[in-house]
Amino acid sequence: MNLEKLSPVLRQYEFFEDLDACQIMPLGAGLIHETFLIESPNGKYVLQGFNQEVFQYPDRIAFNLEQLYTNQIADNLPFELPLPLLNENGKQLSTVDGKNWRVFPFVKGQTLEQISSKNQARNAATAFAEFSKAGTELKVDILKETIPDFHRLDLRFERFCAVASGMERKLDSEEESILRFYLNQKPLIENYKETTQKLPLRLTHNDTKINNLIFSESLDRVKALIDLDTVMPGYLLYDFGDLVRTVACTRTEISTDWENLRLDESVFEALMEGYLSGLGNLAKKEERESLLLGGEVMTCMMGLRFFTDHLQGNIYYRVNYPEQNLHRAKNQSILLRDLQSKRELLRNLWIKASNHSSL
Ligand code: GN1
Ligand code: MG
């Protein structure tokens, strides 16, 4: 991507006065949007090419983000929520040749693909919980679903079964064994349906990967919570669960180091402590207890999504090699199996963290 190609976008923003003096470079490791850093004489900005195949309702996102702003959700949080800057027409989205772009303020700091201390896990979890807590100021049902049924595990499972049973080619033995693993997750799907029926909807982020936080340079403080396109009503277990999936795993979701991939219980404990403390008095016992299901729900969901995408020919997630989505699904299956074998241990950690947070 070069500046010349982007100039029709940048010209829509007053602060990019001198385009010749701007520099552009790729930024971040997100799988969905294309993200760039722009260095201009007026400072640094983040430019994002919007993926409209994934996010088919950009106006809903713009609406939700406006609600965060007008309800001053960020004002009482100890970190920033960088929202899109408005273009010369007062809009969050700038359209050029049918493609939408957005510009965000740049927040200086560090993004992580993996934590290097338990304190980072605790702080990350506290930040996401504080975000949900700040949402009590807002009537959450005014927010729109930016991706309908995004975290509906039951529907993801149905979709996966339909795609798998419609396959024309014969699956190889590795595909078969991973397929069988996921088909055996029916009890988890039932548990998910039963549990969520009783839970309230909250303001949730829905993509609580560690790289969606900006940490201070010294990595001891959360400076900003980013990637707000999936902010919508959801269950707390989604946000806590995605933290478990991505932060409490000894390897990242793209790792193929199968032997060393497992849940790190001590990081799980730090996440639980941090999350419960960030929630404060927000949730009652049943909702707090539902967090225990989160890791399994989100890990199963991502495994199903990666596998479905593999079977469909990698149409959703960017891959670096053809089998990558299958490997991601295998990676998630190993973590899920480990989470399921440690249920009792994790419950004990939850009890310990609950006692601690109510002191
Ligand atoms: C996508 O864009 P990114 O990498 O933050 C995906 C998440 C997945 C994640 C897996 C809209 O998020 O749901 O958890 O990849 N976002 C969407 O890495 O599908
Ligand atoms: Mg991201």
Q: What is the pLDDT of residue 142?
A: 94
Which distant-in-sequence residues (6+ apart) come within 8 Å of 160 by Cβ? 182, 304, 307, 308
Q: Is 231 in the pocket of ligand 1 (CB under 6 A)?
A: no
Taking CA atoms only, the protein residue closest to ligand 1 atom 14 is: 207
* Number of neighbouring beta carbons within 10 Å of residue 263: 25
User: Is the backbone of residue 98 left (phi > 0), alpha (psi -120 to 50) or beta?
Assistant: left
Q: Atom 13 of ligand 1 has which residue's CA nearest to it? A: 207
Ligand 1, closest atom to CA 253?
Answer: 18
For residue 163 and ligand 1, the question of a CB distance below 6 A is answered with no
Determine whether the shortest distance from the Cβ of 264 to ligand 1 is under 6 A: no
Half-sphere exposure (Cβ direction) of 289: Cα atoms closer than 13 Å: 8
- For a pocket test of ligand 1, which of 33, 207, 209, 239 has the largest count of ligand atoms closer than 8 A to its C-beta? 207
Query: Is 238 within 8 Å of 245 (Cβ atoms)?
Result: no
Proximal ligand: closest to the CA of 303 = 1
> Average pLDDT for residues 294-304, to the nearest whole number?
98
Mean pLDDT of all residues in 102-126: 96
| Beta bridge pairs of residue 249 | 263
- Residue 298 CA: nearest ligand 1 atom is 14
Q: Is 207 in the pocket of ligand 1 (CB under 6 A)?
A: yes
Helices of type H across the chain: 3-10, 58-70, 118-134, 153-165, 173-183, 186-197, 236-247, 265-279, 285-311, 324-341, 343-357
pLDDT tens for each residue of 33-68: 889 999 999 899 999 998 888 899 999 999 999 999
Give me the helix-helix angle, 118-134 and 236-247, nearest 10°.
Answer: 160
Q: What pLDDT, on the 0 to 100 scale, is given for residue 350? A: 97
Residue 20, pLDDT score: 86
Judge if the beta carbon of residue 54 lies within 6 A of ligand 1: yes
What CA–CA distance (Å, rounded) separates 141 from 145? 10
227 lines ligand 1 (CB under 6 A): yes
d(CA 111, CA 105): 15
Ligand in closest contact with the CA of 302:
1
The answer, yes or no, to whether residue 357 has pLDDT greater than 80, is no
d(CA 147, CA 285): 29
pLDDT digits (tens, 9 = 90+) for 187-200: 999 999 999 999 99
Closest by CA to 148, choosing from 52, 238, 31, 56, is 56
* pTM for the model: 0.94
pLDDT of residue 50: 87
CA distance 244 to 216: 22
Nearest atom in ligand 1 to the alpha carbon of residue 33 is: 2
Percent of the chain predicted with pLDDT > 90: 86
pLDDT of 359 strictly over 60:
no
> Could you say which DSSP state residue 249 is in?
B
Atom 5 of ligand 1 has which residue's CA nearest to it? Answer: 30
Which ligand 1 atom is nearest residue 316's CA?
19
Q: Which atom of ligand 1 lies nearest, measured to the CA of 211?
A: 5
Ligand 1 neighbour 309 (Cβ under 6 A): no
Ligand 1 close to Cβ of residue 302 (< 6 A): yes
pLDDT in tens, 216-238: 999 999 999 999 999 999 999 99
Report the distance separating Cα 316 and Cα 337, nearest Å: 25
Question: Cα(127)–Cα(144) distance, rounded to whole angstroms?
Answer: 22
Contact 44, 37 (CB under 8 A): yes
The number of the ligand nearest the C-alpha atom of 206 reads 1
Task: Please compute the mean of the pLDDT values over residues 142-166 and round it to a whole number.
Answer: 97
Q: Which tokens is 289 given?
A: 């207890």
Are 226 and 213 in contact by the 8 Å Cβ rule? The answer is: yes
pLDDT number for residue 214: 96
Is residue 43 classed as helix, strand or coil in its secondary structure?
strand
What confidence tens digit (pLDDT) does each residue in 68-92 have?
999 889 898 999 999 999 999 999 9
CA angle centred on 110, ends 29 and 74, rounded to 5°: 95
DSSP 145-173: -SSTTTT-HHHHHHHHHHHHHT--SPP-H
Cα 195–197–200 angle (5° rounding)? 100
Q: Phi-psi bin for 90: left (phi > 0), alpha (psi -120 to 50), beta?
A: left
Q: Give the count of alpha carbons within 13 A of 320, CB side only.
A: 6
Nearest CA residue ID for atom 8, ligand 1? 207
Place of tokens 């900006």: 214
* Residue 358 pLDDT class (50, 70, 90 cuts): low
- 314-350: pLDDT as tens digits: 999 989 999 999 999 999 999 999 999 999 999 999 9
- State whether the beta carbon of 31 lies less than 6 angstroms from ligand 1: yes
* Per-residue pLDDT at 6 exceeds 90: no
Which ligand number lies closest to the CA of residue 230?
1
* Predicted pLDDT of residue 1: 66
